[in-house]
Homo-oligomer: A and B are copies of this chain.
Amino acid sequence: MTENKIPYKIYLEESEMPQAWYNVRADMPIKPAPLLNPATGEPCTAEDLGHVFCDELVKQELDDTTRYIPIPQEIRDFYKMYRPSPLVRAYCLEEKLGTPAKIYYKFEGNNTSGSHKLNSAIAQAYYAKNQGLRGVTTETGAGQWGTALAMACGYLGLDCKVYMVKCSYEQKPFRREVMRTYGASVTPSPSPTTEVGRKILAENPDTTGSLGCAISEAVEAATTNEGYRYVLGSVLNQVLLHQSVIGMETKIALDKYGVVPDMIIGCAGGGSNLGGLISPFMGEKLRGERDYEFIAVEPASCPSLTRGVYAYDFCDTGKVCPLAKMYTLGSGFIPSANHAGGLRYHGMSPVLSELYHEGLMEARSVEQTKVFEAAEYFARVEGILPAPESSHAIRVAIDEALKCKETGEEKTILFGLTGTGYFDLYAYQKFNDGQMGDYIPTDEELQASFNKLPKVGK
């Protein structure tokens, strides 16, 4: 390998970093359907949402017309501590695969939260602080979002209460300790600190908890403690807005070198990383300026886009949050064990759901053993140990690059590498020991779940 014109890693100068987030909804001719108030079945008003979320975030959640929303200086300063993230030209991977394809990835894992989650965590914490609040509450399962929020709150001196699913709290003590080190209080859920927690514990003292229960506790803690609001790390429009910084940085970097991707690939759980990565490119597509192929990759064990239905559903299994119109497997669907915890979500961002519904984006599902094969291959060739979630995108990027090898096409492939797998080594161990399985829900299981969808907002 010799010197190349395009460097291995493209870093923007600080002066080139985005000064505004891009709101893709502004360019969507058909807007995502509004959130519904579960009590009334009517679209949520700013007042409805203001009980749970900060005022400025409610505005962002409901704003589907403003194209660019300025990033406050304080958030831009925080971004400078870990951004710009590198856009990497995967020379080594290309060479090893022997593909004529050109592969790029935007790497969001070079911060202590280990993922892109920090981009929205600092924004949400900032607006909470700015509103004079004392703190925020949230839930966490795998722990990446909780870590990101703890970091943002630690920096701003904001109180942070994290409800962590009890089995994760016990099985992932290191994740818990990172959050504590950043000053967050981490409570195993269900807990005796909330009414809903006490009720669940009374009924089932030995429960190891669930994400649905943790959300319910976090929302209760936010609405019953003076000066607190609830924050969420994915799915919501506001989160995709904040994550647009990923795509904007990527586009600026590619434009500098005159590179135009043919396809853009990202893993999709709630949709925050994929939505952020593709947004400015999707904007061009929506405005008819340029065409791209977008591919959402999800686990075969939790295939909301590829096998779900497009309908109104609860965002949480506890049914305390608003209803969203989205591709969903049903809020009661419990995906079988999969090591990509961040992709084990029953629904999908309403923005991405609408784009997918209109055929502007494709989706594929992949099995986890194939994902870990790609992850291990990538780690050895490119050096970075990827998160299981991110490795879904790696799998499809490699598959596409191998297709190019067959056809001889010199496609330019861009994918999002959302995070690192340093806290996922139990999963790698299972894979290394040949003990990892694949789990695919049956049609009957899915149909049974669809039958329980709420009968509102059709």
Contact = CB atoms under 8 A, between A and B. Distances in A.
Contact-residue size bin, chain A (C-beta under 8 Å from the other chain) = 35 or more
B13 A7 contact: yes
A454 to B, nearest CB: 41
Given A7-B13, A151-B383, 8 more contacts: A1-B77, A8-B81, A92-B155, A112-B383, A112-B385, A173-B429, A180-B432, A181-B385
A18 to B, nearest CB: 15
A425 B155 contact: no
Contacts of A438: none
A55 interface: no
9 contacts: A1-B73, A7-B80, A78-B383, A112-B383, A155-B380, A173-B425, A177-B425, A181-B376, A181-B385
A111 interface: yes
Contacts of A151: 380, 383
Nearest to A13: B7
Contact of A112 (B77, B80, B384, B423): B384
How many copies the complex holds: the figure is 2
A13 to B, nearest CB: 7
Interface in A268-291: none
A182 B381 CA distance: 9
A420 interface: yes
A181 B428 contact: yes
Interface string A105-130: 00000111010000000000000000
Contact of A381 (B77, B155, B177): B155
Contact of A9 (B8, B80, B382, B420): B80
